[in-house]
A and B are shown apart, each in its own frame.
Chain A
């Protein structure tokens, strides 16, 4: 092969070894509900997958574009409310239509917000995500007539899961819903992985590395930041649709600043800029949360403390821990 057509890259891309690992992992997760029929564990893993998708979408923004969003959960929430309202008021049986409506509506909201945010620098961007996130939280919380306010949105119907008119199962059944979530999250992961490795992804990385230089090689920085933001919000929208289908309920706490800190912690736990790291981070986080919140009501203290310790001592997350040990082994 002509040397001039190869790209020297430390990332080997997708190797046979990686394909095998991903296949085994997905197959293992797919078999899970047939081996362990305990509903509690099925829904725990389901939640890990949904939050994994949300954490991954935040990683696209934070780890690849270098933009910090404090309340990425807001966009999960918006989509979940829209999908829920669509199923309640418009069409109780159109699963795909509801999902598409959720993602489109989330994008429509995210576009003007993103447009304002990318006009400012990195710090103001982060502060604005917090302000807008809190605004959405307040709206959802106070608009009792539409969202049910504090009580949340209840009585969301369970549409049948169909593919090209062929019914596969009911979204009310935990095992079916779990498999559906697994397929969608896996697809989103593969799609995002591809996008991140595309020429478009390379532009995002250049912006993360050096915004000013990126502008001086001819990149329209604001425009690409907005594209990165939109990609992250649309993925969060997909996560939101899965969330409401699996829970059948959403309340304003899902959109709170505190829940947003949780998503940030998932990304940090797993490791920035790795895509699969945040998926693992979300699994660890959901497990710990489930375990600790039964033992103490002051879960906030521990969450805050772990975030502080992670940033101080393990900023690369568990993925970074792996390469750290590798380096230790070499020396």
Chain B
């Protein structure tokens, strides 16, 4: 039956796209936490800012692909400002205070978003060349979703190359395991912290910009993404990239399936799944997590 096949193609591809967005956001959170021990609860809001920035750039005449490059840079700049003003003074304080501070920051940013763009949902206008659909195994799949999938793969590959092949990337990875050693090598840990935070924010910005056309853009999108990326991190294990890839695809699939069949309670299913996994595997599915 062609219908069932095309539906399953749709569901598979949609799961991959959604999982990819989760993965980029969760990786950003992981990088910031791994390098500077800050769990940034405003991460979802930065993701939303990325989406709104992409929207505004396209409405004032920028090409969609240009927006995907410019918007993350803007979000990274916001990240730099935040790191210098309020995040860095918190570094010596207890984890509880950092969490409360970034929680406050989340509402502050959400309030600013509402004030600047209003409560009503926004839609991103796509360039004509990727607006069409292409037939895949009986399904008419939107081209831009495939393009998004390629962008996600590109971003993650680029990130891996950066972390594994470049000098800065290797320093960052070393700093996440033994910060004392890295500072002994004469590398300023302050710069590592700034770099990690800005990189994490840029990733949130990229995810927001590419997620814009996939959904409607509204002020609550950040909250939902924050929770989803927590779920990814908790299931995958904090600080574990392999775990995050696995968990992001799993959550992407579960959420896509759940939304397809039982619209309203999709998130409830995801939370339940997380609770069950945590109850029996507190360090994540692959057992690589390090919660302190």
A pairs with B = yes
17 contacts between A and B (CB under 8 A): A119-B279, A123-B99, A124-B238, A124-B291, A130-B230, A134-B223, A134-B227, A135-B268, A138-B267, A142-B264, A298-B111, A298-B114, A304-B111, A305-B108, A307-B101, A307-B103, A311-B101
Query: How close is B141's CB to chain A, nearest CB, in angstroms?
Result: 30
Bound Cα distance from A116 to B278, whole angstroms: 7
> In the complex, what distance in Å separates the CA atom of A116 from the CA atom of B114?
35
Number of A-B contacts (CB under 8 A): 131
A301 in contact (CB, < 8 A): yes
Complex CA gap A310/B104 in Å reads 10
Using Cβ atoms and an 8 Å threshold, which residues of chain A touch B93? 315
A310 to B107, CA, bound (A): 14
A301 & B115 in contact (Cβ 8 Å cutoff): yes
Q: Of the candidates A128, A134, A139, A311, which one forms a contact with B104 in the assembled complex, judged by CB atoms under 8 Å apart?
A: A311
| Contacting pair B268 A123 (CB below 8 A) | no
Binds B, one of A15-23, A49-57, A62-70, A184-192: A62-70
B83 CB to nearest A CB, Å = 14
Tell me if A38 counts as interface (CB < 8 A to partner B): no
Beyond A68-B99, A120-B291, A312-B101, whether A131 also contacts B274 by CB under 8 A is yes
With A and B bound together, what is the CA distance between A220 and B114 in angstroms? 46
The answer to whether A257 touches B268, judged by C-beta atoms less than 8 angstroms apart, is no
Q: Is A303 an interface residue (CB 8 A)?
A: yes
Which residues on the B side are within 8 Å of A258 (C-beta)? 107
CA distance A326 to B39 in the complex (A): 35
List B residues at the A interface (Cβ < 8 Å).
39, 86, 89-90, 93, 95-97, 99-101, 103-112, 114-115, 223, 227, 230-231, 233-234, 238, 264-265, 267-268, 271-272, 274-275, 278-279, 282, 291-292
Say whether chain B's binding surface is mostly helix, strand, loop, or mixed.
helix
Contacts of A138 in B (CB 8 A): 265, 267-268
- Of B109, B265, B275, which one neighbours A142 at CB under 8 angstroms? B265
Report Cα–Cα, A66/B95, bound state, in Å: 11
Closest to A272 in B: B96
Question: What residues on B are CB-neighbors of A207 within 8 Å?
Answer: none
Structural contact, A135 and B271, CB atoms closer than 8 A: yes
Give the interface of A toward B (CB within 8 A). 62, 66, 68, 70, 113, 115-116, 119-124, 126-128, 130-132, 134-135, 138-139, 142, 257-258, 261, 264-265, 268, 298-308, 310-312, 315
Question: Closest CB-CB distance, A143 to chain B, in whole Å?
Answer: 9
| Closest A residue to B265 using CB positions | A142
* B104 in contact with A261 (CB, 8 Å): yes
Chain A residue with minimal CB distance to B102? A308
Per DSSP, are chain A's interface residues mostly helix, strand or loop, or mixed?
Answer: helix
- A134 contacts which of B90, B234, B267 (Cβ < 8 Å)? B267
Give Cα A311 to B42, complex, Å. 15
Q: How far is the CB of B41 from chain A (nearest CB, A)?
A: 8
Q: For the complex, what is the distance from the CA of A53 to the CA of B279, rounded to whole Å?
A: 30
Contact in complex: B107, A307 (CB < 8 Å): yes
B232 to chain A, nearest CB (A): 11
A264 touches B101 (CB 8 A): no
How many Å lie between the Cα of A82 and that of B178 in the bound state? 51
A311 contacts which chain B residues (CB < 8 A)? 90, 97, 100-101, 104
8 Å CB contact of A308 from B39, B108, B268, B279: B108
Q: Are B282 and A315 in contact (CB under 8 A)?
A: no
Known A122-B96, A134-B227, A134-B271; 4 more pairs at CB < 8 Å: A121-B292, A130-B230, A300-B110, A304-B104
Indicate if the CB atoms of A128 and B103 lie closer than 8 Å. no
Q: Name the residue on B nearest A113 (C-beta).
A: B275
CA distance A250 to B259 in the complex (A): 28
Contact residues in A for B272 (Cβ distance below 8 Å): 135
Contacts of A134 in B (CB 8 A): 223, 227, 267, 271
Residues in B with CB closer than 8 Å to A264 are: 100, 103
CA distance A123 to B102 in the complex (A): 13
Task: Give A209 Cβ to nearest chain B Cβ, in Å.
Answer: 12
